[in-house]
Chains A and B, each alone.
Chain A
């Protein structure tokens, strides 16, 4: 009986610790991206952004357009001063409406946003962002979506 309990508990503990590691790494990636942006550096955010990419209600197809987003934000002087991660959780099917309540965004989330994607919200004194961070098959973490607003 004791052995059976251990056999049941070990995988549960293992899986929950994996999920916790993935969440922590997603959070780290999100924070690093924001800190780079705050310093006016676009290389790291661009490198960490994958396509297709969601920017507010838009589905972006090319890396060039994603580069334009980061360059535009930095050029405008957008920063998240004293950033604090306020929430992190796995993406669920209804999350498309956080970007736009539309059939195309719903279809995009259903068909294109892969499993192992987390939504991370970061707030600062002057702005807030919602980011979609995905862990790919090679255990790398990438940004798949961004919503950014100044306060």
Chain B
């Protein structure tokens, strides 16, 4: 019996892990993968994505990923997509981050449905086909083809069902739901609108993004402190366990480990997962959103550096980087860069 169980475990665990992976089915144009190890490579068909990896497409890039062999993710041009993970209500949850650009999701009976995140929103999904767009000004657009998506921002939840959409400006509650005719939504036009908003008042838009950075940094700090406290308690408990073994024997030790230490170990590792998750979310704002803004502004005003629009932007740029360097960098490692 034991042998059968071991055999089943050996067969099914790799199959389960395999089916949980995201794999490139199609790649066109410039599509890069930034591995969690820091390596930057050109994506190829059959490449597999792991937690912490990012996919970045260029202006001519397009990629399709399959997930659990039944679900599909379509990544458009000029898009940044990151697979992350965090602990939520005691469960480890995959997070699919749409940092910039447009991604279509078609989920079909996933074992663990991920949350979708943009700089402005977090969304929960259930058996759904939908599109998420995240623009340079940080705002997000959700359009549902089929199923339902619960979009949350600033403490307000909006549930979208088939042929409904919603816009969410960064730092604001979701707007009114609207009806959509599938196939008639002008996603490129919506992305251009985001760029126009940025051009109108770059400093204000960047200030909104900085607020989001502060939120991420605060959460990273909070979870890091929780981790430190939890780790210190865990160390004490481990010392306690040695005393228990000496005084009451190995059975009492095992019991203490199972009841007290193991849950504490899980809690401690979840804190690490979460502070890293928030730090990496902050890094994605810095690396992709701020960087795109800087390129546009620096090149546009290179002959007019005294222009007040550019000066105000540079002030905000430095503010953003001060927050990032002081409150986010302590949680990063060189491989993240």
Question: Given that A67-B59, A108-B337, A111-B337 are contacting pairs, would A62 and B305 also be in contact in the complex, using a CB cutoff of 8 Å?
Answer: no
B243 in contact (CB, < 8 A) = no
Least CB separation from A68: chain B residue: B295
A115 in contact (CB, < 8 A) = no
Q: How many residues of B contact A (CB 8 A)?
A: 34
Q: Do A76 and B325 touch (CB < 8 A)? A: no
A65 in contact (CB, < 8 A) = yes
Most central of A62, A76, A108 by chain B CB within 10 Å:
A62
Most central of B77, B292, B301, B334 by chain A CB within 10 Å:
B334
- List B contacts of A71 (CB < 8 A): 299
A116 in contact (CB, < 8 A) = no
Q: How far is the CA of A108 from the CA of B38 in the complex (A)?
A: 10
- List A contacts of B299 (CB < 8 A): 68-69, 71-73, 75-76, 78
- List A contacts of B296 (CB < 8 A): 68, 72
Q: How far is the CA of A7 from the CA of B60 in the complex (A)?
A: 55
Q: Do A150 and B295 touch (CB < 8 A)? A: no
Q: Do A61 and B32 touch (CB < 8 A)? A: yes
Q: Do B295 and A76 touch (CB < 8 A)? A: no
Least CB separation from A51: chain B residue: B40
Q: How far is the CA of A70 from the CA of B10 in the complex (A)?
A: 54
* Closest CB in chain A relative to B57 CB, distance in Å: 8
Taken residue by residue from 281 to 304, chain B's Cβ proximity to chain A (1 for < 8 Å, 0 otherwise) reads as 000000110111011101111110
B329 in contact (CB, < 8 A) = yes
Q: How far is the CA of A63 from the CA of B56 in the complex (A)?
A: 10
A14 in contact (CB, < 8 A) = no
Q: Do A59 and B287 touch (CB < 8 A)? A: yes
Q: How many residues of A contact B (CB 8 A)?
A: 34
Q: Do A107 and B58 touch (CB < 8 A)? A: no
- CB proximity to B under 8 Å, residues A70-101: 71-73, 75-78
- List A contacts of B180 (CB < 8 A): none
Taken residue by residue from 127 to 147, chain A's Cβ proximity to chain B (1 for < 8 Å, 0 otherwise) reads as 000000000000000000000
* Closest CB in chain A relative to B38 CB, distance in Å: 7
B321 in contact (CB, < 8 A) = yes
Q: Which residues of B contact A (CB under 8 A)?
A: 30, 32, 34, 38, 40, 56-61, 77-78, 287-288, 290-292, 294-296, 298-303, 305, 321, 325, 329, 332, 334, 337
Q: Which residues of A contact B (CB under 8 A)?
A: 51-52, 55-65, 67-69, 71-73, 75-78, 102-104, 107-108, 110-112, 148-150
